[in-house]
Amino acid sequence: RRVKIKVAPGWDSLAVQTARAAMAGADLPLTVDANGGYEWPEHEANLRALDGEELLYIEQPLPPDELVGHARLSRTLQTPICVDETLRDARAARQIVDLDGPRVWNVKVHRVGGLSEVCRIIRIAERFGARLWAGTMPESGLGSQAAIAAAAMPGFVYPSNLEPSARWFGRNVDVIKLTMNSNGYMQVPGVSIAALLDQTRFRGASRQVLDVGAEG
């Protein structure tokens, strides 16, 4: 578990301090997400102030195309930098590695192009030493299944932005129901979208089903 808040120039250190006051007594790591709202060196003082707040990481401080800027910032600040919108696909992951850039990556399976691309990013991250977590947007059940499958893969070590099935959009009759315990964990039956489908309902509504295993 962790707490994540949004920040922007002028609402950063105060936002963190306000959040910490509200969290008094809760031993939870705190992260901030800037959604690319800062510029360097224009907002250097703001970012250095955030660097002193003992955050788990600072997510997407600079605009998405600032690959060089994020790499420079990750070497300038003590707090780890996390890329989100910058990580568009495996090609962007390789560019981050080539620049010796940030080593925390928010992998959104829908943005990068699916689970096959996630697997490519995992291999790149493993060689580079990057630590991953699964981000998501409000999703249907099937869309959530893809993000949950990604979050269960090796290399995903930070708490992810995932929700139990009660909060998914739509009727979601073709996917299994998942609950989250008080510690923020969900038990999943396997690392694939197929493992998260309601197979009885899915097969009952299908004219033909082709099972392709790992060797197929």
* First vs last C-alpha separation in the chain: 37
| Percent of the chain whose predicted confidence (pLDDT) is above 70 | 86
**Residue 216: predicted pLDDT:** 42
Residue 214 pLDDT exceeds 80: no
Q: Which of 108, 130, 160, 196 is catalytic?
A: 108
Q: Where are the domains of the chain?
A: 3-204
Residue with tokens 């060797």: 215
Q: State CA 75 to chain mean position distance.
A: 22
> What CATH architecture applies to the domain 3-204?
Alpha-Beta Barrel (3.20)
Q: What is the pTM of this model?
A: 0.84
Instruction: State yes or no: is 108 an active-site residue.
Output: yes
Q: Which of 1, 6, 167, 177 is catalytic?
A: 6
**Residue 66: predicted pLDDT:** 98
Residue 141 pLDDT exceeds 80: no
Instruction: State yes or no: is 4 an active-site residue.
Output: no
